[in-house]
Amino acid sequence: MTERVKVAVVGVGNNTSALVQGLALHRQSGSMVGIRRPVVDGLGVGDVAVVAAFATSAEKIGRDLTEAIFLPPNNFPRLDCDLPAVGVPVTKGLVDATEVPRVAAALAEAEVLLYSAPSGRPETARAYAEAALTAGVAFINTTADPVARDPHLLARFEAAGLPLLGDDLASQFGTSVLHNALLRLLRERGLTLVSSYQVNLGGTEDFRNLVQNPDTKMRSKLNALPEGAHSVEVAPLGYLPHLRSRKVAHLNLEARGWGETSVSLDVKLTVHDPSGAAGVNIDLVRIASSALRNGRGGYSSEATSLLKSPPGTAV
């Protein structure tokens, strides 16, 4: 019988809510809906269990994880399944490097540490990576902060025989994936792109934060569009609280075909952003666990299609 993959998560936001609830839904119903890889190296979705969680919000600390995931500003919906308490109280997360030993001790039971906090705090990300090294667990960085891209840190994980996956998770189905697929399709069919835009609207705390710092995100969005990017424009993100955890994207592509006649595509995409993250995290966790169990430390190229900035890309 397969031993459970024991995961500790940093961050008790919407993405963790989607992960925890989706796992409960899968266990109860056996549903394979929306699951990209039923089995990764022998590990099923139901083999993953969250055994520890770290957060910094005073309201969340001490609460059972199954309660904490519904506290504001979280706004991912309550899925249609029972969610019995898992007996995992949320632990106080670390604020600076002096707390690494405490966090490492709290990882005693875990096999993988999934770093799923907001982007923009590289020192914190690296401190958790240190805790993983100390505790001897695999580390996954889903934020844009450079961790796996740091060659020195990666070498230390390799030497310790511990997997290190990252950086910056690529959503299971988001605007970049869709926009790129459409740009590629036009090119394959021989159409000439004239112009294109995307507008992204969302209602999560993440969106609110990104709106404060739009240039970074827009550049990241443009970086994610390698093909014909000179004709592609990304409008500022819009924070619309009514959308809650949904993201809405409007895309337009204007092209020309034979005889220079026009071809127009208008697309509206609606997704739940946290589901897009959890649907990828469930694969990263199993890749990390499998690597650990097989003694493969460092980065696994199997993770590359799930990441925006794997090792070797620019910091």
Sites of contact with its own copies (CB under 8 A): 18, 21-22, 25, 31-37, 77, 79-80, 172-173, 177-178, 181-182, 185-186, 189-192, 194-195, 197, 199, 201, 211, 231, 233, 235-238, 240-243, 248, 250, 252, 255-272, 275-276, 278-279, 282
Question: Judged by CB, which is closer to its own copies: 25, or 224?
Answer: 25
- Residue 227 sits at φ, ψ, to 5 deg, of -95, 120
Provide the minimum distance between the beta carbon of 262 and its own copies in the complex, in angstroms, as a whole number: 7
Question: Judged by CB, which is closer to its own copies: 86, or 199?
Answer: 199
Question: Judged by CB, which is closer to its own copies: 104, or 278?
Answer: 278
**Pairing state between β 246-256 and 262-272:** antiparallel
Instruction: Tell me if 20 sits within 8 A of 63, measured CB to CB.
Output: no
Question: Judged by CB, which is closer to its own copies: 131, or 303?
Answer: 303
Which pair of structure tokens corresponds to residue 264?
Answer: 């127009």
- The closest alpha carbon to 239, from 198, 276, 200, 197, belongs to 200
Provide the minimum distance between the beta carbon of 99 and its own copies in the complex, in angstroms, as a whole number: 32
Question: Judged by CB, which is closer to its own copies: 15, or 143?
Answer: 15
Provide the minimum distance between the beta carbon of 75 and its own copies in the complex, in angstroms, as a whole number: 13
Provide the minimum distance between the beta carbon of 6 and its own copies in the complex, in angstroms, as a whole number: 20
Provide the minimum distance between the beta carbon of 188 and its own copies in the complex, in angstroms, as a whole number: 9
